[in-house]
Amino acid sequence: MKQTLSSNYILLLILTVVAALVAFNVTQNIMVKTVVGLAILKFWLVAFQFMELKKAHPFWKFLIILFGIIFGLIIMIIL
């Protein structure tokens, strides 16, 4: 459990750095999809691991997954 939190934290930091690097080094279309995808992945990691949503009823898990998918898709379609 202790290791799960630490490894998730390190993963979150790596994803943040990767998103920043991608934002400056690839074409607009790929950049939007990658950066939004990474943001949603980080969003889920924080919700499930740090907020312990992984222990909650499936209803609450479903809502956070649905929110991430809808938000990510709308941003990708618009941009």
Strand segments, DSSP code E, in the chain are: none
Residues 50-69 that bind another protein (CB under 8 A): 50-53, 55-57, 59-60, 63, 67
Q: Enter the tokens of residue 7.
A: 């490894």
How many other C-beta atoms lie within 10 A of the C-beta of residue 73? 12
Specify the 3-state DSSP secondary structure of 46.
helix
Residue from 13, 18, 30, 69 touching another protein (CB under 8 A): that is 13
Q: Interface with another protein includes 1 (CB under 8 A)?
A: yes
Specify the 3-state DSSP secondary structure of 51.
coil
Chain residues in the site for another protein (CB under 8 A): 1-2, 5-6, 8-9, 12-13, 16, 19-20, 23, 31-32, 35-36, 38-39, 42-43, 46-47, 49-53, 55-57, 59-60, 63, 67, 71, 74-75, 78-79
